[in-house]
Structure 1
Amino acid sequence: MNQIRKIKRIGNVISILSKYGFDDIIARTSAQKYLPKGFVRSKRGEEIFKLSVYKRVRLVLEELGPTYVKLGQMFSNREDILPPEMIAELAELQDNVPPEELDIDQKIADELLINPTDHFEYINPTPIASASISQVYVARLINGEKVVIKVKRSTIDEIIKSDIMIMKDLAKILEKNYDAARKMSLTQLINSFENNMYRELSLTNELHNIEKFRKNFKERPEVYVPKTFKELSNNNILTMEFIDGFKVNNKDKILEIGMQPKDVAQTGIVLFMKMVLEDGFFHADPHPGNVFIMNDQKFCFIDFGSMGQIMKGDMELLEEIIENFLLQDAKKIIRLTKRLAIDYHIEDEKTLERDIYDIFHMLEHTALNEINVADIVAKIKSIMANNHVLMPEFIYLLLRGISIIEGIGKQLDPELNVMESIRPYANELALKKYGPKKIAQKSLKHLKILAANLQNLPDDLTVLLEKIKDDKLKVNFEVEGLEDMRKTLQNASNRLTYAIIIAALSIGSSILMMAKIPPLFFGNSFLGLVGFLISGILGIVIIYSIWKKDK
């Protein structure tokens, strides 16, 4: 980054902070040298202090430009670390900015190295939408297809890169001087914001997101995914099909095309749960402006720049948390949360456990149709904040998405029961987790691990013996009275081994019986019957040996 440009931008940031009365932040740094002498008092009226500090923060972000507006929008989802008054102000941040003056034909020619007239019959030179990162044009291809062309602003990469560098410096200063900044792990939040922004800046990444989304929904006829044109796209330009539809919360239009609003609400919840629990790849901003209903009654999502992604390991942990939430096992939820969290500083686990049981109590003593998912989400975020739990970014996107989906659903159907709508997915999750296929997969995984360990055993023993021969391994100790303990542990170990073998035989036999693997005996798998017989005999032997030992 050009140092002169950076210094100029720092001066701009400081002057805006000063303008809105945040002199204390400036005073804690050496940054005042970038301000003209006497600037603070001469450029600011005392009227500014009649505004709340939260409103002044919002005004600062809006005046600083697109990067800071995006940062504010990210923090608007973080009720766990910011007060409600701040959240309310950040929710008012607008991403709409005047369009950049641009010769769209020349831009396409320069970026794609093509003659636009060879591919486009017509391009409307006036953008139909303009945001901080890009602006959108309507066009028609030579073959008559109507498309939209999303064009990234010419200097946005440089602006965002420089702003993020300054944000990182500012985060370090704030963490050094303010406890609140340290507690919210501000530097980590800025790093997460940086990753999200760079993904959103790449229109190639958005194109890949669309194609992945299309693949995930290829078996769902109620969803339409816009067609993309790779040959007319790159990192700065994205050409895709024009979608003729209306916002998902338009009840009049929904009724006009023969759909029922309550059915639309129900389908929206089902689709979002599929994205999360089946695909691990979900729309991070499913507000009405990004979800359309088409005239053929299909759902269509747009704007795939920001997507939530869940890794396989995190998905397994998330499934276990949901399962134990349904089982109301707070201790297990805490253990799983620690494994999923990026960082945590839980001072009192008993208090945390009681907080989780408060949610269980709320669910048990509230009628299903009166449960507000947004309240549950707010409670979860509050618990995470009070216990200094920092979760992966997808968790916050997921909680926000659930709240948005519920809000849209309640607009369409005030009687919507979100918990009841989610229940079938929870049941399906349990069936998958404990079904024969899943058990077989886990058994195979454990057998592979065991086989690998056995395969390495000769080499490990060789190394051990060599160390013993070379006098590099010496263990000299003697403790009296351990023989009885050794025998007890040996017996317990033997019984545990038999129990594991019996369990494996029972599971394997169950799978064989359910799959009806031949040869069959009276319609049942003969091998499965034999497995049950052997496991039964071994079980009787173990029970008899325990009974005999205890007599």
Structure 2
Amino acid sequence: MVTRFQRYGQIADVLIKYGFGILVEEVFPGSERLRAFKRRGQKEELPAYVRVRLAIEELGPTFIKFGQIMSTRRELLPPELIVELQKLQDQVAPLPYDEVKPVIEDYCPVFGDCFDLIEEEPFAAASLSQVHRAVLKDGSVVALKVQRPGIVDLIETDLLILQSLAERVESMYPDLRVYNPRGMVDEFAVQIRRELDFTQDGKNAERIGRNMREVRGVRAPKIYWQYTGTRLLTMEYVEGVRIDDLPALREMGLLPREIAERGFSAYIKQIFIDGFFHGDPHPGNLLVTEKGFIVFLDFGIVGVLRPEKKRRLINLLLAIVNSDVDRTMDALHDLGITIKPEDVDSVKDELYVVLIDYRDAQLGQFNFGMALIGLTDTLRRYRIRVPPAFMLMTKVIIMVLDVGTELDPTFNFDRNIRPHLTAIAARERFSPEKLLDVGHVINDAIDSLVRLPRSFAETLQNVTEGSITLEMEKSTIDRVEQMLDHVTDKILVGFIVAAIVVGSSLVLQVSDVTLPDYITWIAILGYAVAVVVGFYAIYHAIVYGRGT
């Protein structure tokens, strides 16, 4: 096991090797290693961001994973660095089978009780695990994802170092506190610890598989839980080709355009209906079978969106699609993205240019992915912090668009997304949960109005019992209470009439969604009731006057 002190030395050596000696001298305690290192080993002739990527790859799994996650943070990092971080490769030389065999034996001590065969040569290897093809006793062909021995200790050591470095960076460079380095490391620590728990990986796969049952031609591999644990994941072995392998798709008689539309529909459902989506849609994690099924792989990174966040993200995408700057700003505010008052006009100006470019663009020159990139670049320039879930969704949409346009150069996001978002927005608007929320709001408002006279009386009593004394005749108090009763009744009637009008208007406004006839008739009846009550209120006000 590598100690924390030894790991500090390894990290310093790699950073110096790639020309970041100044950073080592400023951030790492002690600089004798810098003075002792031979300068000819440095690689300063390469561009800076290329050296950053190479250093991260050499630093190992923790830093590779951190770099991959940071590649989604377009609002924080320069575009050139994002491009390099997206190239980070998580491919390493596999370990000999004898070194990973004890992990398998922890879950199946007697080989013959579980497997007929395990291929010793892995068909995939990454920094956290490697994958072996195997055959169960019942003949099922499976893939064994085996965690590398010792990887947990290494990652925990690296996390301690990252947390320490984040604290030093914040103390030495106060201007960087706006990016919350310690918060980013803490979020990353939660993420990578989840990835180290292969049971969570299996649960994510099953949930996405269940959610995808309604989408034709999309699925996730089956999980064999009797042979699965924290360090071993046993899942169905899938025969297929990468989703971006166009010659192979055509050779199997499949139409790339149909595959693109199917994958797009699957991700739209995951993000905006299920609120639980596959967070790493690079082509290697999307296989296409001979029958045309898209099969998702690797569920270590997933995005989670609560219902209210889904609605807000839908509003944001609709605002962008419609090139509406004001609605875009409102949607960003609803997502918790705070813009300094002095920057609002400048941000709106830049967003206006981005959205106008998107609206006026010709196919192939500017697409929705570029609009999202323009949005996040604007946020980065003004140092505006963005929720990680939003950035993960942005990354996923951009990657899905890239795959979609590679499969079908005529793929148009606007044409494909608009009917989805319109239908989803209408469904959310009239969902039982949404109606229940409206009911709660109305009920709370009515309760508050009903309690108003009592609250007023209690307030008067508290004032008389305190240090302030108000001398009022009983008849005056009675008149005030009577007046409040009448006012409350009128407000209550007005509130109910307004609620009926608004609700009926929303129902009749949704012309592009098929609604049962009885709902339409209820809306019309609501209008009629509102009109009658309104005329009565006007008559009452004219005849009896304002006073009672």
Partner residue, 2:13: 15
Describe how 1:338-353 pairs up with structure 2 within 5 A.
338-341=333-336, 345=340, 347-353=342-348
Partner residue, 1:108: 104
Code of the aligned partner of 1:9: R
Contact 1:467 1:473 in 2 (8 A): no
Partner residue, 2:419: 424
Q: Secondary structure at the match of 2:66?
A: helix
Partner residue, 1:379: 374
* Partner of residue 4 from structure 2, selected from 2, 6, 9: 6
Contact 2:130 2:146 in 1 (8 A): yes
The structure-2 alpha-carbon separation of the partners of 1:469 and 1:179, relative to structure 1 and needing over 3 Å to count, comes to closer
How much has 1:302 moved relative to structure 2?
0.7
Cα separation, 2, equivalents of 1:46 and 1:453: 74
Code of the aligned partner of 1:16: V
Cα separation, 2, equivalents of 1:332 and 1:490: 40
Partner residue, 1:271: 266
Gaps of 5+ in 2: 472-483, 509-514
How much has 1:357 moved relative to structure 2?
1.7
* Partner of residue 358 from structure 1, selected from 353, 359, 374: 353
1:116-146 CA deviation, whole Å, 9 max, x = no partner? Answer: 3111111112211110111111100001000
Q: Secondary structure at the match of 2:44?
A: helix
Cα separation, 2, equivalents of 1:494 and 1:369: 61
Partner residue, 1:203: 198
How much has 1:345 moved relative to structure 2?
4.6
Contact 1:341 1:389 in 2 (8 A): no
Cα separation, 2, equivalents of 1:274 and 1:293: 19
1:169 aligns with 2:167: no
Code of the aligned partner of 2:7: R
More deviation in 150-159 or 219-228? 219-228
Partner residue, 2:70: 75
Cα separation, 2, equivalents of 1:344 and 1:506: 35
Partner residue, 1:250: 245
How much has 1:435 moved relative to structure 2?
4.2
Code of the aligned partner of 2:285: N
1:443 aligns with 2:438: yes
The structure-2 alpha-carbon separation of the partners of 1:105 and 1:158, relative to structure 1 and needing over 3 Å to count, comes to closer
Identity %: 27
Describe how 1:370-519 pairs up with structure 2 within 5 A.
370-435=365-430, 440-450=435-445, 453=448, 464=459, 467-468=462-463, 470-471=465-466, 498-506=493-501
How much has 1:55 moved relative to structure 2?
2.4
Contact 1:290 1:303 in 2 (8 A): yes
1:321 aligns with 2:316: yes
How much has 1:6 moved relative to structure 2?
1.3
The structure-2 alpha-carbon separation of the partners of 1:129 and 1:346, relative to structure 1 and needing over 3 Å to count, comes to farther
* Partner of residue 304 from structure 1, selected from 289, 299, 315: 299
How much has 1:208 moved relative to structure 2?
0.8
The structure-2 alpha-carbon separation of the partners of 1:236 and 1:395, relative to structure 1 and needing over 3 Å to count, comes to same
How much has 1:286 moved relative to structure 2?
0.7
Code of the aligned partner of 2:203: H
* Partner of residue 528 from structure 2, selected from 522, 526, 533: 533
The structure-2 alpha-carbon separation of the partners of 1:190 and 1:145, relative to structure 1 and needing over 3 Å to count, comes to same
Q: Alpha carbon RMSD of aligned pairs, Å?
A: 3.6
Contact 1:262 1:412 in 2 (8 A): yes
Partner residue, 1:156: 151
How much has 1:452 moved relative to structure 2?
6.1
Q: Secondary structure at the match of 2:219?
A: coil
1:231 aligns with 2:220: no
Contact 1:73 1:91 in 2 (8 A): yes
Gaps of 5+ in 1: 477-488, 519-523
1:295-321 CA deviation, whole Å, 9 max, x = no partner? Answer: 121111111111111122322322232
Code of the aligned partner of 1:19: K
Cα separation, 1, equivalents of 2:275 and 2:304: 6
Q: Secondary structure at the match of 2:134?
A: strand
Cα separation, 2, equivalents of 1:68 and 1:30: 17
How much has 1:63 moved relative to structure 2?
2.0
Q: Secondary structure at the match of 1:45?
A: helix
How much has 1:150 moved relative to structure 2?
0.5
More deviation in 325-334 or 386-395? 325-334
TM-score (norm 2): 0.85
Cα separation, 1, equivalents of 2:282 and 2:460: 66
Q: Secondary structure at the match of 1:31?
A: coil
Q: Secondary structure at the match of 2:90?
A: coil
Partner residue, 2:25: 27
Code of the aligned partner of 1:92: K
Code of the aligned partner of 2:23: I
Q: Secondary structure at the match of 2:142?
A: strand
Cα separation, 2, equivalents of 1:498 and 1:141: 70
Code of the aligned partner of 1:317: R
How much has 1:508 moved relative to structure 2?
6.4
TM-score (norm 1): 0.85
How much has 1:94 moved relative to structure 2?
1.3
The structure-2 alpha-carbon separation of the partners of 1:218 and 1:132, relative to structure 1 and needing over 3 Å to count, comes to same
Cα separation, 2, equivalents of 1:511 and 1:313: 19
Code of the aligned partner of 1:24: I
How much has 1:12 moved relative to structure 2?
2.0
Contact 1:341 1:390 in 2 (8 A): no
More deviation in 272-281 or 452-461? 452-461
The number of residue pairs the alignment matches comes to 527
Code of the aligned partner of 1:97: V
1:433-483 CA deviation, whole Å, 9 max, x = no partner? Answer: 44486774443232343466579879967975663464267689xxxxxxx
Cα separation, 2, equivalents of 1:218 and 1:307: 18
More deviation in 538-547 or 399-408? 538-547
Q: Secondary structure at the match of 2:238?
A: coil
* Partner of residue 87 from structure 1, selected from 82, 89, 95: 82
